[in-house]
Amino acid sequence: MKITVLGSSGPYPDAGGNCSGYLLEGSETKVMLDCGNGTFSVLQNYTDFFELDAVILSHLHMDHIADCFVVRYAFETAQVLGKRKDPLKIYAPAKPFELYNMLKYKDVVELFPIDHRLQLSIKEFELSFLPTVHSLYCCAVKVNQGNSKMVYSADTEYFDGLADFVRGANLFLCEANYTSEDLSLGRKNHLASFQSAQIAKKAEVDRLLLTHLHPKNARSVVLSEAVEEFAETELAEEGLIFKV
């Protein structure tokens, strides 16, 4: 499985950056995981967009879904030009429904709800989901391909069940929106990087990749606080490619 970082900022992009989005590729499968602002443009540096099998949305905050509202026009054009016959499948939580319903577009997008009960197969990828602790209904995503496993935390506070869901992952792609200082100020709905690293250590993952990085926080601080807890930690940057 190959994972390409298309964007790693949140809840808004830093100068020249993009919000959350990742391209997952297998031998015959291409899935976009989250589709934040700016990510669809970057996606086209790595693949023909009309070859996407699906888009998986962890939740419906705009920094994770904004580009879905332009992706529809690209796929509509691909259909007109004969490059795509089938609609694009988008899987997303159905809460809040008014946002979920906005994702549907003509016969270009086919929409499917996700929750913790869903076990999803997309060609060689097997996906499962775990609700997180966030201000909107949100799901962490586990992707298995044979013996390869990656887990995406999506947006969340710390909670005990996350480490069990992540356990044994080859790559743990985890949000790190806060520093320890942010937590001391009582901020909620996200993880500090040291908490992400504690989860990685407890779950015995191979590598930790920190994402959803807040533009106001110095990345050197975010990384150093995590490395103190878990040495195999890196920061997600646009264009980084990982193979697991």
Over residues 28-38, the mean pLDDT reads 97
pLDDT in tens, 105-160: 999 999 999 999 999 999 999 999 999 999 999 999 999 999 999 999 999 999 99
Q: Confirm if 58 and 34 have CB atoms less than 8 A apart.
A: yes
What is the distance between the alpha carbons of residues 108 and 87, in angstroms, rounded to a whole number? 5
pLDDT in tens, 178-232: 999 999 999 999 999 999 999 999 999 999 999 999 999 999 999 999 999 999 9
| Structure confidence at residue 13 (pLDDT) | 96
Token pair, residue 91, equals 């899987």
Give the domain ranges of the chain. Answer: 2-243
Across the chain, what does the average pLDDT equal?
A: 97
| 145 bridge partner residues | 148
Over residues 75-104, the mean pLDDT reads 97
What is the distance between the alpha carbons of residues 236 and 244, in angstroms, rounded to a whole number? 15
Percentage of residues of the chain with pLDDT beyond 90:
100
Over residues 87-115, the mean pLDDT reads 97
Q: Confirm if 174 and 196 have CB atoms less than 8 A apart.
A: yes
User: 2-243 has which fold?
Assistant: Metallo-beta-lactamase; Chain A (3.60.15)
